[in-house]
Amino acid sequence: MDKLTENKLFESILSEYKGIFFKVAKTYCKDEDDRKDLLQEMMVQVWQALPKYNSDLKLSTWLYRIVLNIAISYYRKNANRQKTHQIVDFGSTDFADIQENESNQNLLLLEKFVNELKDLDKALIVLYLEEKSHLEISEILGISTSNVATKVQRIKEKLKQKFKK
C-alpha cells in the first residue's frame, strides 16, 4: 500500500468509523482528559497498523480488534506518561457527558450498567449492541461462536434484570 492510499484509507476510516472510536473510548474511559489521550492512542495504533492491513479481513473486524485492544490495555499504561503535545487535534469535538434529562435516562442507565461489567464483557456487549454477528464477534474476540452466543445471552439477561429494577 503506497503512502497516498494509506492516507486516504486512514481518512475514510476516521470519517466512516469515528463512532467506533468514540463509543469504545467512552465505554472504557470516564475521565475526559484520559479519553482524549486514549482516542489519540487508538488513532495512532490504527495508523501504524495500516501498512499491515490484510484485506482478507473485514475492515470493521480489524478496526474493532485494534480499538478494543488499546482500550483494554490502556489502564495498564504508565500513569506518568506525558499528555502534553497532542498529535491529534479534536477540533470541535463534544466530549461532554450526556446530560441527565428524561429522554437520556435510559441511555445513562445503559452506560452505567456497561461500565460495571468486566473489560472483556464490555467488549462483548459493545460488539453485540453494534449489531455485529456472532461470527464477527468471535473473530474479533478470539473465542468460538457458541461461546459468544452463551456469553451474550448471559450479559443480556443481566442488563434486562437491571433495567427491570
Partner 1 sequence: MEDLELKQLWTSYNAKLDVSIKINQKIAENTTELRVKSLLGSMKPTKIALIIFGFLWVIFIDTIIINTFGIASVFFMVSAIIQVLVTKLAIGLYIYQLIMIQQVDTSEPILITQEKLSSLKTTSLWIARISFLQLPIWSTFYLHNGLFVLENVLPLVFQAISTFTLTYLAIWLFLNIKIENKNKTWFKRLFDGKEWNPVIQSMELLEDIKEFRD
22 binds partner 1 (CB under 8 A): yes
149 binds partner 1 (CB under 8 A): no
Q: 103-139 b/e with 16+ CB inside 10 Å = b?
A: eeeeeeeeeebbeebeeebbbbbbbbeeebebebbbb
> Rounded to the nearest 10 degrees, what angle do helices 32-49 and 18-28 cross at?
130
Residue closer to partner 1 (CB basis): 22 or 145: 22
59 binds partner 1 (CB under 8 A): no
165 binds partner 1 (CB under 8 A): no
Residues 6+ positions from 44 with CB-CB distance below 8 Å: 87, 88
Going by the DSSP 8-state scheme, the letter that residue 152 receives in this structure is: H
Count, residues near partner 1 per rule CB under 8 A: 69
Least distance to partner 1, CB of residue 19, Å: 5
C-alpha cell at 63: 478496526
Report the alpha-carbon distance of residue 73 to residue 89 in Å, rounded.
Answer: 23
Conformational region of residue 2, where left means phi above 0, alpha means psi within -120 to 50, and beta covers everything else: beta
9 binds partner 1 (CB under 8 A): no
Least distance to partner 1, CB of residue 61, Å: 9
107 binds partner 1 (CB under 8 A): yes
17 binds partner 1 (CB under 8 A): no
In the complex, the residues that contact partner 1 under the rule CB under 8 A are 3, 7, 10-11, 14, 18-19, 22-23, 26, 41, 43-45, 47-49, 52-53, 62, 65-66, 68-70, 72-81, 85-94, 98, 106-107, 110, 118-121, 123, 129-131, 139-143, 147, 151, 156, 159-160, 163-164
